[in-house]
Chain A
Amino acid sequence: MMVNLKINNIDVTVPENTTILDAAKANNIAIPTLCYYPDLRINSDCRICSVEIVGKKGLSTSCSTLVTEGMQVKTHTPRVINARKTITELLLANHDADCTACAKNMNCELQKLANVLGIDENRFARVLEVRPIDDHNPSLIRNSNRCIKCGRCIDVCRNIQGVNVLEAMNRGHDILISPPFGKYLSDEFCTFCGQCSSVCPVGAIIEKDETATVWNALHDPQKHVIVQVAPAIRVSLGEELGQKPGTIVTGKLVAALKLLGFTKVFDTDFTADLTIIEEGSELIKRITTGGVLPMTTSCCPGWINFAETYYPEILDHISSCKSPQQMFGALAKTYYAQKENIDPASIFVVSIMPCTAKKYEAKRSEMGSTENNLDVDVVLTTREAGKMLRQMGVEFENLSEMEFDKPFGTTTGAAAIFGTTGGVMEAALRTVYEIVNKKPLAVLDFVEVRGMKGIKEASVDLGGKTVKVAVAHTLANAKIIAEQIKNHESPYAFIEVMCCPGGCIGGGGQPYGTISKTRTDRLASLYAVDVAMPLRKSHENPDINKLYSDFLGSPLAKLSHELLHTKYQPKRRH
């Protein structure tokens, strides 16, 4: 059914159940919003999107009001404009608006709003009560002084991730978005997925910026600084630098990182291939020797943090493989150091990840290094990498494409799709199927495990046995999977879990403004990368085979075990 209404005296026809906000947008009027975020619940708390509906006394929020037949909406009457300005001034009066000293400067929705509304003075007194900043973890910084209480972070943490670490404490003017009782994120078993930082409209939750450390390392003559780039970055860094969502920038990003001064630019896809060999071997071993099943993937640090805290009883079900990031770090400071004859202590490994939890992962005690010599020294998010390139003034679009460096440069399509939900599963199945069944796959694409559905299932024939597998993304879905395992009701043998919506392409460290559409664009590009690769199965990567013959021996063997595997410990909830 279509509904006819008038917006600013212009006839408009939209489908029923359309909000006024969407109806206006479809007719080329963008009503300003603040708390509204396309993928999240409608809170209508900020009241910025208020409009006048002829015949109604007060103003109505366009984000939450559905159109009705014959409705007459006025989006920009003086009354409406004054209301929007007044509310924005109220918010600014209780906000640390030192914009030029904020990581979100020029990227802040409140700042943009003030600009669009043309606010040139604030009639209201400054009432900000300065509160302490929570930077007691390696991943995220919460600065309540910038918080405008829009509720997005609460929603994403509670309803998308099912973790529920944040809540609106107190009431009225004293309201404070915080972990319960004003504790730190690190006290409350935040998984550091960073989805809150991704949706925060202002600079109240941001990743811990480590760009300065990287600049220092790059200019330290004692250091051999190398960088690894996660699969999802090649389809999101371009977007961070102003290109269309999903633009594939693999070759340009290598060139750009060279310009920054990295001695070698490597591909985390290489250790993604390695992960498939190790994890695939582990799965086959568990299936054939009566090991603990189902086995879940272990690449995602948000999932590991979640399981350790909320489901410690299922830790044996998690693959013992380190993540590709940490496998890379371990090899960089052993294999690579030996091969290139460099003192491991001088090697400085930087990762570019779509993820804030990776910062936490790199600093974990399990990662087999002393505190002074981490396997991965610094993790930068996509956004921080973009920041460094802007600082450098790199004209990204003009760069000629370059190839990743050896020995961690030859990769497969299977590794590329690690960056999306279903990708690790598909990559694993391509390899495990061929190893177990000793015959090539007729079709490489496992379409059942692709796409944005929360939990996907597939069955695969392994040595005459039908094995059920599943793929889950977002922690709310991971929770369903974990409950099944905990209650011994899981029908699966192998489960891929990624903590962010869409997997790493929707990671908490990805460019701001990520919504379903952006995730779908990035996802499609990763599959395009896969199809374009000459090799699409991890076990066919010649440099992986060389790594085993030259250095590691065989999968799951002693050295592989030492460098590439680990074990996670339960964390007690308070």
Chain B
Amino acid sequence: MIEKKIISKRFDKIDPYSIADYIATGGYKPLIKAMTGERIDILSEVEKSRLRGRGGAGFPVAIKMMALAKEAASVKYIVCNADEGEPGNFKDRAIMEKDPHSILEGMIITAYATRATKGYIYIRCEYDKSIEIMRHAVDEARKNHFLGLKIDKIDFDFDIEIRLGAGSYVCGEEFALLESIEGKTGRTRVKPPFPTSVGLFGKPTEINNVETFANIPVIVDMGGDEFAKIGTKSSTGTKLLSLSGNVNNKGVYEIPFGIPIKTVIDELGGGVPDSRALKMVQLGGACGPIIPRYLLDMIIDFDRFDEFESKTGSGAIIVMDDRWDIFDILLRNVDFFKHESCGKCAPCREGHNQLARLLRKFTDRKATVKDLISIESLARVMHQTSLCGLGQTSPTSIISTLRYFREDYIDRLESLEV
């Protein structure tokens, strides 16, 4: 069995509406341990764990936490990014709907360690069940004195508010998300300054993904060193995967880092239906690279993913069989990003429209060699110059297919004349 259930250990075993179930299965014990019991140094445990952000970019969590802890401001915020909008991702939803208190506990411990005063959970509005369960969990946590004034009778006040997105993909980007909480249009800000110094309402803010927060109680419970033994050198712990596409068993799976993608597809996904051939896999979501079958021995590992320069680490694996034309996928991706670009910076605002036009020239078999050069140049310029993660990562599917499926482009050229 390749699964290792740490984050998903309570999935389908407890009633998500019952805080009693959570507590009965060891929940909130790490919180009490962190706050009152052994008075462990949470920051150093997280540092030792070498936990990296689970939203996709894989930024070391301890660096953010320590930066926030160092800020002297009297108001500091913890924000949980539950705007899971990347196509192909649904693992945060699973945590919210199956083990909501683990997220709250992670947020409270983080707040305690950094002396943050208030938390926000920003959930995409389409997740109605997640919203209902998280709201219920916050109420229950408050009733049980895990949130509110003088948490667990010690001198620490912290509360959490739930805010909803309004359907915009870019609000999953950290600054656009903060703008949205502030009631403004969801558009990113110039950085630096980073959120840990100037974040929500101008105050120091730490933003983490749902799964990242769910890891915190686990680390406090088992200790950073123990946690770091799971997974690989560069990527410790486990990863929740959202497995979808042409596989027999779609769903959320938890594995330790270091498992090859092929093993996940074959053993957990049960392979491709109808004995079809696997053609390609898109990693991370619409903003991730499309890789061919021969690369599937690649292990799931942040450092391995780094070479794609994209947010590949969110754990989405979208499997596509031999019926798919790469241009079907590319056009869907680009049209999606064209629709979701906030319009603030020039390369993203204007670039997606042109990428879509160029791609259609390929599907119409009207493309020239010059168009091939243009699309490659444009995709790279967008990747290198866009203001936020949206425009920086959206061309990844084009850049990666130009590398691995270049012959598909050349096949669609009207002529080979230069």
Binding site for B on A (CB under 8 A): 42-48, 50, 57-59, 64, 66, 79, 82-83, 86-87, 90-91, 93-94, 123-125, 127, 148-149, 168, 170-175
Contacts and interface: CB of A to CB of B under 8 A. Distances in A.
Contact of A50 (B190, B351, B377, B385): B385
Nearest to B341: A172
Interface stretch (B38-46, B56-64, B342-350): B342-350
Given A42-B190, A44-B387, A173 B350 contact: yes
B338 interface: yes
B76 interface: no
A104 B198 CA distance: 39
A172 B385 contact: no
A149 B349 CA distance: 10
Contact of B354 (A50, A93, A149): A93
A175 B342 CA distance: 8
A86 B391 CA distance: 15
Which of B168, B341, B343, B378 has the largest count of A CB atoms less than 10 A from its CB?
Answer: B343
A496 B309 CA distance: 57
A26 B111 CA distance: 44
Given A45-B387, A58-B384, A172-B338, A86 B378 contact: yes
B385 A83 contact: yes
Given A45-B387, A58-B385, A123-B370, A149 B346 contact: yes
A211 to B, nearest CB: 33
A173 B385 contact: no
A48 B346 CA distance: 9
A94 B386 contact: no
Contacts of A42: 190
A66 B192 CA distance: 9
A124 B374 CA distance: 8
Interface in B319-359: 338-347, 349-354, 357
Q: What is the predominant secondary structure among interface residues of chain B facing chain A?
A: helix
Contacts of A168: 185, 187, 343-344
A57 B309 contact: yes
Interface string B368-402: 00100010011001011111000010000000000
A43 B351 contact: no
B381 A172 contact: no
A79 B354 contact: no
Nearest to A35: B346
B357 A173 contact: no
B385 to A, nearest CB: 4
Contacts of B168: 171
B385 A47 contact: yes
A90 B346 contact: yes
B357 A125 contact: yes
A175 B341 CA distance: 10
Contacts of A171: 168, 185, 340-343
Contacts of A170: 343
A399 to B, nearest CB: 44
28 contacts: A43-B344, A45-B345, A50-B385, A57-B309, A64-B190, A66-B192, A82-B381, A83-B385, A87-B350, A87-B385, A90-B346, A90-B354, A90-B378, A91-B346, A91-B350, A123-B374, A123-B377, A124-B354, A124-B357, A124-B374, A125-B357, A127-B353, A170-B343, A171-B343, A172-B339, A172-B341, A173-B343, A175-B343
B377 A86 contact: yes
A289 B24 CA distance: 81
B385 A94 contact: no
A168 B184 CA distance: 12
A261 B345 CA distance: 48
Given A58-B384, A93-B354, 7 more contacts: A45-B345, A45-B346, A58-B385, A94-B350, A127-B354, A168-B343, A173-B352
A124 B381 CA distance: 14
Contacts of B342: 171-172
B63 to A, nearest CB: 17
Given A42-B190, A64-B190, A123-B370, A47 B345 contact: yes
Contacts of A175: 343, 349
A43 B185 CA distance: 15
A203 to B, nearest CB: 18
Which of B338, B346, B387 has the largest count of A CB atoms less than 10 A from its CB?
Answer: B346
Interface in B174-200: 185, 187, 190, 192
Nearest to A168: B343
**3 pairs of A and B residues whose beta carbons are closest in the complex:** A175-B343, A90-B350, A172-B341
Contact of A86 (B185, B192, B381): B381
Q: What is the predominant secondary structure among interface residues of chain A facing chain B?
A: loop
Nearest to B356: A173
A64 B388 CA distance: 14
Contact of B385 (A43, A59, A64, A123): A59
Contacts of A59: 384-385
B216 to A, nearest CB: 29
Contacts of A91: 346, 350
Nearest to A88: B346
A45 B386 CA distance: 9
A64 to B, nearest CB: 5
A149 to B, nearest CB: 7
A48 B185 CA distance: 24
Contacts of B345: 44-47
Nearest to B371: A123
Contacts of B381: 82-83, 86-87
Contacts of B387: 44-45, 47
A174 B354 CA distance: 13
Which of A47, A91, A123, A172 has the largest count of B CB atoms less than 10 A from its CB?
Answer: A172
Given A58-B392, A90-B354, A47 B383 contact: no
B349 A172 contact: yes
A50 B345 CA distance: 12
Nearest to A175: B343
Contacts of B187: 168
Which of A45, A57, A58, A64 has the largest count of B CB atoms less than 10 A from its CB?
Answer: A45
Nearest to A43: B190
Interface string B225-251: 000000000000000000000000000
B265 to A, nearest CB: 29
A90 B385 contact: no
Nearest to A56: B384
Given A45-B387, A59-B384, A171-B341, A87 B354 contact: no
A174 B353 CA distance: 10
Nearest to A95: B350
Contacts of A58: 383-385, 392
A46 B156 CA distance: 45
A70 B168 CA distance: 40
Contacts of A90: 346-347, 350-351, 354, 378
Nearest to B361: A125
A332 B409 CA distance: 74
A184 B343 CA distance: 22
A168 B342 CA distance: 10
Contact of A46 (B190, B338, B346, B383): B346
Which of B357, B378, B381 has the largest count of A CB atoms less than 10 A from its CB?
Answer: B381
Contacts of B392: 58
A393 B338 CA distance: 49
A345 B343 CA distance: 52
B243 to A, nearest CB: 29
A44 to B, nearest CB: 5
Contacts of A149: 343, 346, 349
B344 A45 contact: yes
A42 B190 CA distance: 8
A168 B349 CA distance: 13
Contacts of B378: 86, 90, 124
A124 B378 CA distance: 10
Given A123-B374, A172-B340, A173-B341, A47 B357 contact: no
A83 B384 contact: yes
A330 B168 CA distance: 56
A321 B192 CA distance: 50
